[in-house]
Amino acid sequence: MSAEFSNAYQEILLDNLISIIKQNFIFQTQLKLIEDVGKQKNELEAKYNELIASVDSMRTQLDEAERLKSIAKTNDSAHQEKQRIQAALNDEMKKSVRLIKDLEEKNTEIIKLKEYITKLEEIAPASKLKKINPEKAIETPKIEEPAPVDLFAIKENDGSSF
């Protein structure tokens, strides 16, 4: 081998070695960057999974809140209906108490008037009652006639017979 060939061979070998070393450095740099990207990807994927789980729990909470909201609306309308019925019941009870009180007053007044009428009827003569109220005149007490006594009837065990 000649010196020129050997020099050219060594130059090409050196150029190839330098190229290989450069490619190795570039490849290692790319690997390092890919590792960082892979770590970031894994971190992002973990965060993404956490966010998905969080969204699912929020949806569950939202559904529960909607259910509670509908129950609250139902309860509120039932409470309003109860208040309305209670108010109507209270009004009717007040009316009932007032009417019962009026009825008691009227009954007391009727009793007093009946007593007064009976006193007046006792005082007034029968002829006046006949003019005012013919039915009352008929109701006047009649004198009862004593039952006829049989003088000849034999009484038992009275000690008057022989």
The answer as to whether 158 is a domain residue is no
pLDDT of 142 above 80: no
Angle at 116 between CA 113 and CA 122, to 5 degrees: 140
Our CA angle for 20, 22, 25, nearest 5°, is 110
Q: With a cut of 60, say whether residue 41 has pLDDT above it.
A: yes
Torsion 15-20-23-28 (CA) sign: negative
Residue span of the structural domain in which 109 resides: 8-137
Whether residue 118 is contained in a domain is answered as: yes
Res. 101: pLDDT tops 80: yes
Domain count, the chain: 1
**Max mean pLDDT range (18-27, 138-147, 152-161):** 18-27
Q: Which DSSP string do the residues of 126-138 spell out, in sequence order?
A: HHHHHHH-HHHHH
In a domain, 58, yes or no: yes
Which has the higher per-residue pLDDT, 64 or 143?
64
Average pLDDT over residues 15-35: 92
- Residue 159 in any domain: the answer is no
Is 161 domain-assigned? no
Classify residue 46: in a domain, yes or no.
yes
**pTM of full prediction above 0.75:** no
Does residue 145 lie within any of the structural domains? no
**Does 146 fall in a domain?**
no
The span from the CA of 132 to the CA of 120, in Å, is 12
| Per-residue pLDDT at 64 exceeds 80 | yes
Between residues 84 and 1, the one the model is more confident about? 84
Q: Residues 6 or more apart from 155 whose CB is under 8 A from it?
A: 161
